[in-house]
Structure 1
Amino acid sequence: MHIIPAIDIIDGKCVRLTQGDYAQKTEYASDPLVVAQKFEEAGIKRLHVVDLDGAKASKIVNEPTLNRIASNTNLHVDFGGGVKSDEAIDMAFSAGAAQITAGSIAVKDKALVLSWLKKYGTDKIILGADVHHNEVRINGWQEGSGMNIFDFLEDYVSAGIEYVICTDVSKDGLLQGPSFDLYDDILKRYPKLKLIASGGVAELDDLKKLEQAGMFGTIVGKAYYEGRISLDELASF
């Protein structure tokens, strides 16, 4: 299982939100590149970068930070937040993203995201599924979509999607454990999916359970930044 640390960016700084609430923001480091380099030095290969300003503005805002991380590390960076147009996805890949995560746009403009799958390949696009009580949430989790997670996945799996990041909004940032039941349900229906768990990881045991559950990867944020899981423990995976 891949351990994928998260760097969430507001105003070029590394932050974490609780349950996607911009009012519940904790700043952890002023320079995301320094954080990224620490992960790389520990032997971690992948990084999840989210432009939170971009998610709010519906366009990429922190492209210079993405470029600095991609240019100064060999990390496999997946990037999300504000990728909602052909121009934006080209900008993200040009700045060094190895993959992009299509979140709200995958709900709002399915035709556009399907065109990206054809243009860039299914290995380049990650479907971002943010879920609250089985409903897909959009726009930085601020709004409900009225769409059930399994209906949402069905459309994209049939179109060839390989990678899915599934975040349970109700768990995110609370350090109360991941949504094991939700992930089990998804993998029972789609056993070939490269499913990436996100939200709720609180301790090393959570990572072991997610690995046993068959996750392709797990995104780790607050548990690392709050010292619940050490860098050495993350690297051991």
Structure 2
Amino acid sequence: MIILPAIDIKDGNCVRLLKGDFGTVEKVAEDPFQTAAGFLKAGARYLHMVDLDGAKDAKMVNRDLFTSLARETSLKIELGGGIRTLDAVEYYLANGIERVILGSIAVKNPEFVELAVKEYGDRISVGIDAKDEMVATEGWLDTSDVHFLTLAKEMEKMGVKNIIFTDISKDGTLSGPNLEQLRAIHEAVSCDITASGGIRDIQDIRNLKRLGVWGTICGKSIYKGTLDLEEAILQAANKGDSIC
């Protein structure tokens, strides 16, 4: 299993939110470049990043920061937030971002996702963020009438290979991931599933690994010190503890 430490950007700062509420913005680190360097030193190979301003405004807001970081680190960066056009997808993928995450657009314009996947293959990931099992959009400010499993199956048919699933009620709470919903989506589709939201400690990493998900995004747990990133990476890489 892959561990993806997270850096969310708002107004150029490293922040975390509670359940996606922009009113709960908390600055958690001084500098995204130094933070990424620390993750690399701990053994990380991947980095999950979100443009929170972009997610809210439906456009690329902090793109220069992301592409600058991509040039300066050997971490493989996956990036979401405000990516609504093929030009935006192409820009990021041509400027060092390993994989882009399409979120709201997957609900509002699934044909766009299909076009992007045909063009860029597994460099396209889809983020499915659920509130009471229904998919949320626009930086989690709106909730659709689409069930998360329905969207997952639709994305699978379009050729999507990786889905990032977040139970919004768990995000930023350090209360543990929603294993029931993660198991449901993992069993419903053949896509690689990345778990996001609620991870607190090394036991959560063990539980997710046993579940068989492809990866796990860890944010607040690292910043608050409830999870040691180096230990999590070693645990995730321990083949003897997995039932996959």
Correspondence for 2:12: 12
| Unaligned ranges ≥5, structure 2 | 237-244
Deviation at 1:41, TM superposition (A): 1.4
Q: Deviations over 1:158-177 (max 9, x none)?
A: 11111000000010001111
User: Matched residue of 2:39: which SS?
Assistant: helix
Q: Say if 2:182 is the partner of 1:177.
A: no
Whether the aligned pair in 2 keeps the contact of 1:2 and 1:216 (CA below 8 Å) is: yes
Number of residue pairs matched?
Answer: 235
Counterpart in the other structure of 2:166: 167
Using the alignment, how far apart are the partners of 2:14 and 2:49 within structure 1? Answer: 10
Give the letter for the 1:210 counterpart: L
**1:151 equivalenced with 2:144 (yes/no):** no
Q: For residues 1-237 of structure 1, what are the structure 2 equivalents within 5 Å?
A: 1-121=1-121, 123-190=122-189, 192-236=190-234, 237=236
Distance between the aligned counterparts of 2:199 and 2:21, measured in 1? 18
**Conserved 8 A contact 2:183-2:211:** yes
The residue type equivalent to 2:74 in the other structure is N
Deviation at 1:95, TM superposition (A): 2.7
Superimposed CA distance per residue, residues 174-222 of structure 1 (whole angstroms, 9 cap, x where no aligned partner): 11110100011112222x3210000000111001000000010000000
Aligned partners of 2:34, 2:171: CA distance in 1, in Å? Answer: 24
Measured after TM superposition, the shift of residue 235 of structure 1 is 3.3
On the 8 A contact 1:197/1:217 being kept in 2, the answer is yes
Identity over aligned residues, as a percent? 37
Q: Using the alignment, how far apart are the partners of 2:229 and 2:148 within structure 1? A: 32
Aligned mates of 1:19, 1:229 — CA distance in 2: 19
| Structure 1: tracts of 5 or more residues without a match | none
CA RMSD of aligned residues (A): 1.0
CA distance in 1, matches of 2:233, 2:212: 19
Partner Cα distance (1:153, 1:83) in 2: 19
Whether the 8 Å contact between 2:78 and 2:101 is mirrored in structure 1 is: yes
Residues in 2 aligned to 1:22 and 1:134: alpha-carbon distance in whole angstroms: 21
Q: Please, what TM-score do these two structures have when normalized by structure 1?
A: 0.96
Counterpart CA distance in 1 for 2:61 and 2:94 is 14
**Given that residues 100 and 123 in structure 2 are in contact (C-alpha distance below 8 angstroms), is that contact kept between their aligned partners in structure 1?**
yes
SS at match of 1:48: strand
Is contact 1:176–1:202 with CA below 8 Å preserved after alignment? yes
> Whole-Å Cα distance in 2 between the matches of residues 57 and 30 of structure 1?
24
> Normalising by the residue count of structure 2, what TM-score does the alignment of the two structures yield?
0.94
CA contact (8 A) 2:2 2:233 kept: no
C-alpha distance in 2 between matches for 1:70 and 1:17 = 23
Q: Which runs of 4+ in 1 moved over 6 A?
A: none
